[in-house]
Structure 1
Amino acid sequence: METWWRALTFTLGYNTSLVTIGSMLLGAAGGMIGSFVLLRKRSLVSDAISHATLPGLALAFILAGLWQGDGRWLPGLLLGAALSAAVGLWAVQTISARTRLGEDAAIGAVLSSFFAFGVVLITVIQSMQVTGQAGLTGYLVGATAGMLASEAQLIALCALGLLLAIFVLRRDFLLVCFDAEFARTQGVSTGRVDLLMLLLLMAVVVIGLKVTGLILIVALAIIPPVTARFWTDRPLRMVALAALLGAAAGYLGVTLSSVQEGLPTGPLVVLASFSLFMASFLFSPWRGVLATLLAYQRFRRRVHLRQGLLALAREEPIFDNLTLKLLRRQGYIRRDGVATLPGQAAARDAEHEERLWSLYRERHPDDALQQEHSGLTPIARVLSPDAIMALEAQLPPRPEGGR
């Protein structure tokens, strides 16, 4: 626990603190660009890009190993991964644009083919007489334990530059995500914006290889935006919140991995992000499971109470236990089921509201208001006093036997 506290407070060591900061910046960048990709409905492209980095990574390792005897040279590996990911991105775009195959089919073909080619190259590397082979597997699942300070600095600087680029381009991204046709009328090149968006996504994938690995890096571009969506409907707030959630996931994951030697950083970062997602999924006040259940129970009680009042007004028997319980709790009926004076008054009001809503639906069948409120909302909250007076004037006489 003491070790974790020191990691949380950035006092465990220079390299650990630098890796933590770099991971936080990477998580923030992934959350931001992932939000735009999610709004553009292209989240699965990140999966294809991440798997397409493997052959480039392996080829760069082979070339560096043949040149200097040690293939583990981070700038070269990142460059190779970026070039390979760019080819994979081009392949997805070309297949989906030039053939009848959809983007999902193109993603599946590119993902499986590039990853299989990368696995073959890794098998070749294992038979080569070069050093650093053990470090290559760290790019599959992430490894920060052996990260050099220079590597952590490179990741932090690249992630910071990525954040600045996303911040500058955010408005064009949002315009294209929500209305590409309108964006074209405003002189925005949607093809260029889409390409920039995917290039920044590719940059997040490439930079994050050392932290979370190519298999799990896609989670940083998907989970934080999805989590942020539980808390807001405003796009810019969603982008900012996704950045904070991504940074929090990187912070928690890296610090937890430093508690004990051998703990994998990438999976812990993803698990931290998933924990934030589950908390939002369960407890978000707008879209969380708990809030949805509570809203359903409130709606159910409103329906039962209104139906009970209408039954009282029409002098119909009530057999439903929940309806009887709600009417007793409100003081509308006695224990023997007889309506009280407040219950009789509330029943008359409910019946009058129902008659007004019925007349309104009859007179205005295409109006969205009656479809939205369905008679449960008091009509005075929906219509103006003049409209209610007009309905009152057209209201037919109460049928014989009505109270």
Structure 2
Amino acid sequence: MDIYNKQESNVRSYSNSFPVVFSSAKGCWLKTENGDRYIDFLAGAGSLNYGHNNAIFKKALIEYIESDGVTHGLDMHTEAKSAFLTALRNHIFEPRNLDYKVQFTGPTGTNAVEAAMKLARKVTGRANIVTFTNGFHGCTYGALAATGNQHHRGGSGMPLAGTSRLPYEGYAGVDSLLLLETMLNDNSSGLDKPAAVLLETLQGEGGLNVASNEWLQRLSKICKDNGVLVIVDDIQAGCGRTGTFFSFEPSGIKPDMVTLSKSIGGYGLPMALVLMKPELDKWAPGEHNGTFRGNNHAFVTATKAIESYWANDDFEKHIAERSQQVKKVIDRSLKRHSSLFVRAKGRGMMQGIECKDGDLASAISRRCFEKGMIIETAGPNDEVVKFFCPLTISESELEQGLHIFEQAAEYVAQTATRKAS
């Protein structure tokens, strides 16, 4: 570990929680240089929805590389890009009656958020963006201004401006949409009319808080009535993580813009998009630029991901079955360990269990790691244990991971009881 401690910045974080050296990975398994195996309930923070080294994607990528396919293309036309756009249109947009143009941004989620915020301001001529408590949108300045987490905001080194924050659904019992609607129609409210509202329909880093369909529908109507755009950040919750390709599908809303990254590339390769309604595409050529918008290797694997998993509803059925498997264990744990747990959080394969405090959640995560599982915590105080395995996980593999969690919870509960006595 000496090379990491001497040469790598202190900013690293995941390696602090999982201090081993990984050498290979397949499906939902990670293997260390010493030959130890860990079941992966982190999945690259949601960038590996289809698992490590997915065989279908790997075959297509190897064939593309061996044929001297274009690797890096800026934003020029390539066969790999056209294949991706075609698959996205045919298998994702058209079946959902969505009409979006696609912007390829720099290959990170925060860059997509920056682009969406900039475009909303450009189109409307207004500067303010309404965001929500516990939202997480990235760590570059614009996206960070929209992010609630104080730990990340503290790294900015300067004031973060351009946003107004409102309570997310369920926050402190506040009817935030009544507040928003009232403030939008009150000339003395002090709320500068926003260009857009930016939100996650299921907050990942914020603790797996879920916006109800009714709340999303109401928000969408308020925004439409007031000429305010709706931007859904689906970077972590998209690509099937909540059970449908887009997290907002069950609500029936059609956001003006959607940001995607993480698993849109399929293979864990960097890629990010802004989807926008066609009338919003007011960019001048090169106005939001970036060298690495043309990751053709990611186009290849992204195309295979869509064609292989989203051409019919089989994958959605698989996700629903595995989601129920997770839910049963969470419900059982809530009944068995009332001294540890408060409530279930999230939906689909983006579920978690809230502990009474962050120390308990961290203790469970550490014990899971000791027993061969990678799992992280989320929430404002890291109080939520977050089940985030690849969506392709089998029933038996998922059972193995859930069993480790249950054993870890039992261990922490017994330890807490001994300390109390």
Of the two structures, which has the highest relative contact order with CA contacts closer than 8 Å and spacing of 6 or more?
2
Common topology (TM > 0.5): no
Q: In proportion to residue count, which structure has more helix?
A: 1
Q: Which category of TM-score, normalised to the shorter sequence, fits these structures? A: under 0.3
- TM-score scaled by length of structure 1: 0.21
Larger radius of gyration: 1
- TM-score scaled by length of structure 2: 0.20
Q: In proportion to residue count, which structure has more strand?
A: 2
